Amino acid sequence: MTPVGAQAISVGGRYDVHVGPGVLDRLSGWVTGGRRVMVIHQPGRTALVAGVLEQIRAAGGEAHAHEVPDAEAAKDVSVLAGAWQALGLAGFTRDDLVIGVGGGAATDLAGFVAATWLRGVDAIQLPTSLLGVVDAAVGGKTGINTAEGKNLVGAFHEPRAVLCDPTWLRSMARPDLVSGLAEVIKCGFIADPTILTLVEADPASASDPTAAVMTELISRAVAVKARVVDADLHESGLREILNYGHTFAHAIEQVEHYAWRHGDAVSVGMVFAAEVAVRSGVLSPDVLEHHRTVLRSVGLPTSYAGAPWEQLRAAMARDKKSRGSTLRFVVLSGVGAPQRLEGPDEQVLIEAFTAVADAG
Ligand SMILES: NC(=O)c1ccc[n+]([C@@H]2O[C@H](COP(=O)([O-])OP(=O)(O)OC[C@H]3O[C@@H](n4cnc5c(N)ncnc54)[C@H](O)[C@@H]3O)[C@@H](O)[C@H]2O)c1
Ligand SMILES: O=C(O)C(=O)C[C@@H](O)[C@H](O)[C@H](O)COP(=O)(O)O
Ligand SMILES: [Zn+2]
């Protein structure tokens, strides 16, 4: 049963994303009967991790904690190897369970550990960041970075459940929380314009984890993601719309050595994609301007001039949507109307970059 005030959003009937106060209690059912459980967690989630370990033990499970470095430093092959070693030393079998606790970096890593250990064991995700609950922990994309780029190694491995108590978000630093709003706003532009209306009506509440509108934004964004992932888990078509803004975003993250937050980069990346769409004759300039207004209303960045075009262009070539030497972008023809743009004119890309770099 879902606790009062909590909701369970189904991903194609395969698993639920439980969001609401007290949802951690739902964990007990997964950890009975001596099951070994590896809790892979970010530093700083101390009280939550202690509660999770206690609950596993109380339910008869064998709890192990494995701390990983914070943020993108977790998504590294050396950290992955450390987690595999911990599982091996503790004798984890195919019946056992990996739990990810933290922001999207920790859940991406934990999911990939679960995907690869013994060719796949169960994973449960406990996202503690806004970006984690609305996006990273949902949908089964797991993975790590390599020196050549973002998320270049990974697997599709769906979790058995996602549990998030929104009170966990209250300890987030404001810039991290706001960064998560970029993925929420992305869902507004690609599929659910009501999200944009809610954010614009009251940007302060939209970035306040205690406000009621935050709960609505979370459920709307999760609903968009669940619907898309259910229709196209392996990203053979529709799922690419969730990558809106990410071609340029991942390039920024890589050239900045991950000093930029993912959501901040996605914010600029959406403006870049909208600039490309306008210059390709696909989108009207007012929707481009709408991007800047909504994103700026919550304090998200809309410009980037930190690296030369050539460096960003080279990084974009490694985007997973590329085919051969052809870049493929998700662009909009209107709000809620995503489409693909294949091999845009290089001059259009340069002009879009110049516009994003100049619009300080
Ligand atoms: N798998 C997917 O579908 C998917 C989707 C979107 C993003 N991602 C990935 O997710 C990552 C970004 O996620 P993120 O923004 O959560 O980043 P993150 O995991 O790096 O967390 C950002 C910061 O917030 C801190 N934090 C997390 N929860 C907190 C809490 N409750 N209180 C205080 N601090 C807290 C973290 O310690 C970290 O310092 C990127 O690696 C991105 O590529 C994956
Ligand atoms: O779930 C998806 O699909 C997405 O594209 C969601 C993105 O927000 C997310 O950042 C994802 O990790 C990007 O995937 P990638 O395939 O471009 O690495
Ligand atoms: Zn993203």
d(CA 14, CA 101): 21
CA of 180 to the centre of ligand 3 (A): 9
Give the residue from 188, 166, 208 showing the smallest Cα distance to 267: 188
Does residue 251 contact residue 312 with C-beta atoms inside 8 Å? Answer: yes
Give the three-class secondary structure for 25: helix
C-alpha 103 – ligand 1 centre gap (Å): 3
- Rounded distance, CA 304 to CA 272, Å? 10
Query: Is 106 one of the annotated binding-site residues?
Result: yes
What is the DSSP pairing of strand 7-11 with strand 15-19?
antiparallel
Q: Could you list the active site residues?
A: 119, 141, 183, 225, 235, 239, 243, 246, 250, 262
Pocket of ligand 2 contains residue 142 by CB under 6 Å? no
Which CATH number applies to 7-171? 3.40.50.1970
Distance from residue 1's CA to the centre of ligand 2 (Å): 31
Do the Cβ atoms of 189 and 292 come closer than 8 Å? no
Protein residue whose Cα sits closest to atom 14 of ligand 2: 243
The pTM of this model reads 0.98
Residue to substitute in 72, 187, 246, 260 for testing ligand 2 pocket (most ligand atoms within 8 angstroms of CB): 246
Q: How far apart are CA 102 and CA 27, in angstroms?
A: 16
CB 258 within 8 A of CB 277: no
Q: How many A from CA of 338 to the centre of ligand 2?
A: 16
pLDDT of residue 5: 85
Under DSSP, is residue 152 helix (H, G, I), strand (E, B) or coil? Answer: strand
Residue-wise pLDDT for 169-207, tens only, equals 999 999 999 999 999 999 999 999 999 999 999 999 999
Q: Report the C-alpha gap between 318 and 150 in whole angstroms.
A: 9
Question: What CATH class does 174-204+235-358 carry?
Answer: mainly alpha
Burial of 227 (0-12, 13-18, 19+ CB in 10 A): middle
Annotated ligand binding at 32? The verdict is no
Q: What is the Cα Rg of the chain in Å?
A: 20
Domain boundaries of the chain, sorted by first residue: 7-171, 174-204+235-358
Is 129 part of any known ligand binding site? Answer: yes
Q: Which of 141, 156, 266 to mutate to test the pocket of ligand 2 (most atoms within 8 A of CB)?
A: 141
Ligand 1 centroid–CA 177 distance in Å is 9
CA distances from 261 to 94, 252, 256 (A): 35, 10, 10
CB-ligand 1 contact for 253 (6 Å cutoff): no
Among the bound ligands, the one closest to the CA of 225: 2
Does ligand 1 come within 6 angstroms of the Cβ of 176?
Answer: yes
Instruction: Report helix angle 174-190 to 285-297, nearest 10.
Output: 150
Instruction: Give the closest ligand to the alpha carbon of residue 102.
Output: 1
Q: Give the closest residue (by CA) to ligand 1 atom 37.
A: 70
Pinpoint the alpha helices (H) of the chain: 46-58, 77-89, 104-116, 130-131, 174-190, 193-201, 203-206, 212-231, 246-255, 262-279, 285-297, 309-316, 346-358
72 is in an annotated binding site: yes
Taking every pair of Cα atoms in the chain, the longest distance, rounded to a whole number of angstroms, is 62
Q: Is 139 in the pocket of ligand 2 (CB under 6 A)?
A: yes
CA distance 8 to 20: 9
Residue 70 is labelled as binding a ligand: yes
Using most ligand atoms within 8 A of CB, pick from 142, 179, 243 the residue to mutate for ligand 2: 243
Annotated binding-site residue? 150: yes
183 lines ligand 2 (CB under 6 A): yes
Taking the C-alpha atoms of residue 53 and residue 70, their distance in angstroms, rounded to an integer, is 20
* pLDDT value at residue 32: 86
Whether 192 lines ligand 1, by a CB cut-off of 6 Å, is no
CA angle (307 as vertex; 303, 309 as ends), nearest 5:
90
Distances (CA, A) of 317 to 101, 234, 245, 280, 334: 32, 21, 15, 19, 26
Residue 285, phi then psi, degrees to nearest 5: -60, -25
Beta bridge mates, 65:
39
100: CA distance to ligand 2 center in Å?
A: 18
Task: Give per-10-residue mean pLDDT for the chain (360 aa).
Answer: 80 98 95 94 97 96 98 98 98 98 98 98 98 98 95 98 98 98 98 98 97 97 98 97 98 97 98 98 98 98 97 94 93 98 96 91
